[in-house]
Each structure stands twice: as C-alpha cells, then as structure tokens.
C-alpha cells in the first residue's frame, strides 16, 4: 500500500530520497526554495513545489496535514527546519523525520516534535567502515538499535553448497531474506539450490553477531 510523503529540502539527500520513494510507488511532494532544483526533480516525483519554508505562512499552505510522513531534509538550515517540524506536528502529521548536521541540532529538532532524527553523513560513515572491514560485506543498513540488514557475498567455502548444508542460522545467527543471482533479486529462496560465485545474500542479524561473519 502506497503512502504520501513530503520531502522538504532537495539537497543530495532529499532529492535522492524523494525520487526513490516515488520510484517505489508512493505519492511524493518535493519542496525546495531553489527553482532550478525544483524544475530538475519535477518529472521524478508526484508534485514539485518551489517554496521558502522559512516563512510560516508558506509552510501552512503546503498541505502537510494530508501527508503520512514529512521528511525535513534541510540539515544546514536550523531555522527553517524548526519551522517545518513544528508546523507539521501542529497540523497532525503522525511521523516527522528530520535531518540534522550534528547532535546539537538533532536535540533541538527532537525537542520541538520530530519523531526521528537522522545524521546522513554519520550513518554513511558507519556503513562504509563496516563494509571496508569485511571482504564479504557489500551493503550495510541499520534496522533498529539491535538489528541490521546486510547484503553479502558468500564465502569461498560456501560456493557449491546450499543453504540447508550451510545452516547459516545456526552457525552465524543470520536469517536469509532474499537471494540475488545473475543480477536478479528473489524473495523466493530455494534452500536446495547451490550458491554460485556471483550469488549475493540479503540477510538480517543482530549487530552483536556481526563478528561471526567477518
């Protein structure tokens, strides 16, 4: 079931987020004060609006109350971020996610009502560090404080064996949720199909068990 999102602030993070959400079948309203940026994203979202969100009257007129989720992605503009978060919550938006450039800004936005704070540069650094420390890690994504999602290559000794033989849940405490073969990701997993060299596994595990895979 699709949701409606407003993404306010179309820097690299906000633009990528808005376009990805739209590609996934959601309704997306993308907002920025830069007319050139708005024009550039217009074909890749549901609505693209040029608006200066430092003006409270402008923010009130965006119709944020119609959105399931509002993402405030102006990490370098504290004043505008505060305005957008406050008005979104006042208008009854259930979930407001805000980007912050540092933890002090994050604390302020959380204090005035943001439901979740993200630090994209910090999180990117963490993901990069984790992928660099293991030859088998391709991508790393946080799910919550305890769980993570990994895209991994099979170890050399796994090649030619199937998931039943490998018994990954018992040995490495991982749950395989999808398999990618020949550039095709499949959620249906044949446990008797041997892994190939180009196979990639999408797995969920607790962060405490990451060392088992390194």
- Whether 16 and 109 map to the same domain: the answer is yes
Give me the pLDDT at residue 183, please: 63
Q: Domain check: are 94 and 167 in the same one?
A: no
pLDDT tens-digit readout, 43-101: 999 999 999 988 999 999 999 999 999 999 997 888 899 999 999 999 999 999 999 98
Same domain, 69 and 172: no
Considering the domain architecture, whether residues 28 and 114 belong to the same structural domain is answered as yes
Could you report the per-residue pLDDT of 157-207, keeping only the tens digit for each? 999 999 999 998 888 888 888 887 766 667 677 888 898 888 888 888 888
Structurally, the chain folds into a number of domains equal to 2
Asked whether residue 106 falls in the same domain as residue 202, the answer is no
Q: Is the pLDDT of residue 130 over 70?
A: no
The predicted-structure confidence for 101-129, as pLDDT tens digits, reads as follows 888 899 999 998 999 888 876 565 555 55
Say if residue 8 is in the same domain as residue 114.
yes
pTM of the complete model: 0.62
Class of residue 95 by CB neighbours under 10 A (exposed 0-12, middle 13-18, buried 19+):
middle
> Do residues 13 and 85 share a domain?
yes
Same-domain check for residues 166 and 99: no
Whole-number Å distance between alpha carbons of 131 and 140 = 7
Same-domain pairing of 89 and 165: no
Give the CA distances from residue 149 to residues 20, 24, 159, 204, in Å, rounded to whole numbers and listed in that order.
18, 19, 22, 5
CATH number, domain containing residue 104: 3.40.50.720
Domain end call among 85, 118, 151? 118
Query: Which residues form the domain of 113?
Result: 4-118
**Same domain, residue pair 66 and 140:** no
Residues 6+ apart with CB under 8 A from 97: 69, 70, 71, 72, 114, 115, 116, 117, 118
């Amino acid at each position: 079931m699709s949701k409606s999102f407003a993404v306010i602030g179309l820097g690299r993070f906000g633009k990528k987020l808005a376009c990805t959400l739209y590609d996934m079948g959601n309704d997306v309203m993308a907002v920025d004060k830069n007319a050139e940026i708005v024009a550039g994203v217009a074909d890749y979202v549901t609505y693209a609006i040029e608006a200066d969100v430092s003006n409270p009257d402008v923010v009130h007129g965006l119709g944020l109350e119609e959105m399931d989720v509002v993402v405030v992605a102006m990490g370098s503009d504290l004043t505008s971020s505060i305005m957008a978060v406050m008005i979104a919550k006042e208008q009854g938006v259930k979930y407001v996610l805000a980007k912050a450039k540092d933890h002090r800004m994050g604390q302020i936005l959380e204090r005035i009502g943001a439901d979740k704070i993200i630090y994209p540069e910090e999180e990117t650094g963490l993901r990069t560090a984790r992928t660099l420390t293991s030859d088998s890690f391709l991508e790393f994504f946080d799910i919550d404080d305890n769980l993570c999602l990994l895209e991994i290559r099979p170890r050399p000794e796994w090649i030619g064996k199937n998931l039943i033989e490998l018994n990954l849940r018992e040995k490495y405490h991982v749950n395989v949720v999808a398999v990618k073969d020949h550039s095709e990701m499949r959620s249906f997993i044949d446990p008797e199909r041997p892994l190939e060299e180009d196979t990639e596994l999408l797995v969920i595990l607790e962060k405490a068990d990451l060392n088992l895979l390194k």
